[in-house]
Chain A
Amino acid sequence: MAQLTFREAIARGIAQEMRRDESVVFLGEDIGKAGGVFKGTVGLLDEFGPVRVRDTPISEQAILGAAMGAAMTGLRPIAEIMFADFFAVCWDIVVNEIAKSRYMTNGQMTFPLVIRSGNGGGLRFGAQHSQSVENWAMMIPGLKVVVPSNATDVIGLMAAAIRDPDPVIFLEAKALYATKMDVPDGEIVDTLGTAKVLRNGTDATIVSLGYMVPRALEAANELATVGIDCTVVDVRSLVPLDTQTILREVSATGRLFTVEENPRLCGWGGELSSIVSEEIFYDLDGPIVRITTPHIPLPAADALEDMAIPSVERIVTTITKSMNS
């Protein structure tokens, strides 16, 4: 066991896989010498050298295009897009090229690659450096989407993503980079498409993702003090989606609350609500309620950003109100 920050877990997860597989290479802006703008890749250049850990120009299309071309010819690249907002300048490569090419070629190609990116708000960076894009990624056929919420999961899910034969968008909540936890020693390998039940309750099920997971847990603890006993599920992987776990946990309590950092429209909770309504409607004891960032660009000022992103307080009041009505 060692105390590890979320950001240190990134480097450890990548290093674990680069040690065991020569075909794993890593490219992105400022990832090598600088160790990443969020210091998530410190030490990788020293250990693996500049042939495997490559600093790139500010060319997001080239970074992802290169990752794709390398993946289709036998490598397992990891590409970094510094801020998830920057996906907008290279979204073509992600959506039209990487995601579609296996299908279009009738399975002639595979794309074992990982695109990792700093996602979401909480750091007061303003609208162009704070967006949560998990809903963009989730709606594209051909992309797997993973969003870890703690350091141990970062390592295990990173390993699973790198070993996976398909393209994985790996979104790291920037607001969690500084969080710490005890992480087991040795190799950690997790499984994509598995949600985790973090707390068992009887009254309501809170389903959350990434940055929202610690808040959901804290809210559940507060709710317990007023007699509302909640299950908390960490989705971890939007595609593939572990609907079995989620449906089971919603059925058990009869209530579903989603806590989503993405702006309201087409957030993952909308899809989940639809699945729950179609498949376990008669197990529900009350309405499904989505707690999300409003449908606005994220403001910069700390006071405003705090109003926008679901807070522990907002989760508690929303659930209390709904459970008591």
Chain B
Amino acid sequence: MTTTTITAGPTDFETKLGMYRSQVALRQFEKRAYDLFLENLVKGTSHLSLGQEAIAAGFATAMKPTDWTYATYRGHAHTLARGVPMTPVLAELLGRSNGLMAGKGGSMHLTSVEHGVMGSYAIIGAHLPIACGAAWSAQYRGTDQVAVCFFGDGSTNIGAFHEALNFAAIWKLPVVFVCENNLWMEYTRTTEVTAVKHPAADRASAYGLESIIVDGNDADAVYDVAVTAIARARAGEGPSMIEAETYRHGGHSRADPGKYRPDSEVAEWLAKDPIPRYRARLLEAGATEEQLAAIEAEVAAEVEQATEEAKAGGIPGEDLLMKDVWADGGSSWRN
């Protein structure tokens, strides 16, 4: 088992700053999304990645624009990290016509093909085989694209997870599976219902893959394993499975306070918050307080602007309702 402790990360400082900016953006965006949920402006549901930002930022930094992201319903961070602007994402959460999918998908299905965000999937495990298909297509067409597929610890107990791993392994597909192990399913601790301690890493060997565990709250460490796994995939050496240990600061979804979790556990993980950690590391490495404060202020302004633009978005019209069931743009099932 490889446990990565050396935290090198991107070698150039600009990239490190970019990774910091990305994490701050994900954090501030989702805090705003939560406020808007409490104001009943975000309807339905929303699942936040607060506390898990280093994984999205680390991977997105290591990916090429032509690579593909497959995310879950907890997908705001992965979508934004690939460069999708805040306004359409927030507007989608608000159900507005300027939303990323004009309001037809909602928080759990964020997709931006233009940015390589090939969908956010809300049926546990379903997108692992789908990511295999994209990887197969890259392999078949001889492109160097890699599919990166994110999912939770609880998702390792569904059949599709195991089907996909075997499938990717036998076909040597350029796909990277990333388990964001935040210890919890919805309201149940994953280890209580799982036969092994490390839900993803301990299963990897069953499919001939290396067990890789990384500190998911350390963007540099995540970046490093991402670079290695993506390079392996690009070189035609097949899939990788990475278990990134992390924690969600809030509850599972909506306004869940997450009270089922012991206070001590929450406190322990809050102390490992990836963002202050990365901030301190950058300061140590020579960044100035002003430099970082400027990034934070820029992001805050971006969130303000996105909030205004999303709120100002139109209500989706009836024209959208019957649109795009079929490739011809329509929904007709008879003549």
Contacts and interface: CB of A to CB of B under 8 A. Distances in A.
B329 to A, nearest CB: 7
B133 A97 contact: no
| Residue of A71, A97, A112, A242 most packed against chain B (CB within 10 A) | A97
Interface string A57-71: 101011111111111
B113 interface: yes
Contact of A105 (B101, B135, B167, B334): B101
A207 to B, nearest CB: 14
Contacts of A241: 333-335
Contacts of A242: 334-335
Contacts of B327: 102, 110, 112, 165-166
Nearest to A65: B129
A238 to B, nearest CB: 9
Nearest to A113: B133
Interface stretch (B9-17, B19-27, B103-111, B243-251): B103-111
A75 B137 contact: yes
B125 to A, nearest CB: 8
Interface string A141-163: 11000000000000000000000
B324 A106 contact: yes
A108 B327 CA distance: 10
B35 to A, nearest CB: 26
A160 B128 CA distance: 30
B167 A108 contact: no
B194 interface: no
Interface stretch (B41-49, B158-166, B283-291): B158-166
Contacts of A107: 323-324, 329
B134 interface: yes
Nearest to A138: B333
B137 A74 contact: yes
B153 to A, nearest CB: 20
B130 A68 contact: yes
A123 interface: no
A62 B166 contact: yes
A66 B133 contact: yes
B267 interface: no
Contacts of B138: 73
Contact of A104 (B105, B129, B136, B167): B105
B119 A105 contact: yes
A62 B324 contact: no
A75 B118 CA distance: 15
A212 interface: no
A106 B105 contact: yes
B126 interface: yes
A223 interface: no
Contact of A240 (B140, B167, B170, B332): B332
B329 A65 contact: no
Nearest to B329: A107
Given A69-B134, A93-B126, A62 B167 contact: yes
Contact of A67 (B111, B133, B170, B335): B133
B123 A96 contact: yes
Contacts, number: 164
A97 B137 contact: no
Contact of B133 (A65, A103, A106, A108): A65
Contacts of A25: 140
A16 interface: no
A112 B326 CA distance: 10
Nearest to B108: A104
A73 B68 contact: yes
A69 B136 contact: yes
Interface in A38-73: 51, 54, 56-57, 59, 61-73
Interface in A73-88: 73-75, 77
A243 to B, nearest CB: 5
Nearest to B97: A106
A66 B104 contact: no
Contacts of A102: 324-327
Contact of B333 (A54, A66, A72, A240): A240
A166 B100 CA distance: 22
A244 interface: yes
Contacts of B145: 73
B121 A97 contact: yes
Given A57-B170, A74-B141, A105 B113 contact: yes
Nearest to B102: A106
User: Which among A92, A239, A244 has the highest number of chain B CB atoms within 10 Å?
Assistant: A92
Contacts of B140: 25, 51, 70, 75
Given A75-B140, A239-B333, 13 more contacts: A59-B167, A69-B131, A69-B135, A69-B147, A92-B126, A101-B111, A102-B326, A103-B324, A105-B113, A108-B113, A109-B111, A165-B326, A275-B334
Q: Which 10 A-B pairs have the closest CB atoms?
A: A69-B133, A65-B129, A165-B327, A107-B324, A66-B133, A59-B163, A62-B163, A69-B134, A106-B101, A62-B167
16 contacts: A54-B171, A62-B132, A65-B133, A68-B129, A69-B131, A72-B133, A73-B133, A74-B141, A97-B127, A106-B104, A107-B324, A109-B119, A142-B325, A165-B326, A242-B335, A243-B335
Interface of B: 68, 100-102, 104-105, 109, 111-114, 118-119, 121, 123, 126-138, 140-141, 145, 147, 159-160, 163-164, 166-167, 170-171, 320, 323-329, 331-335
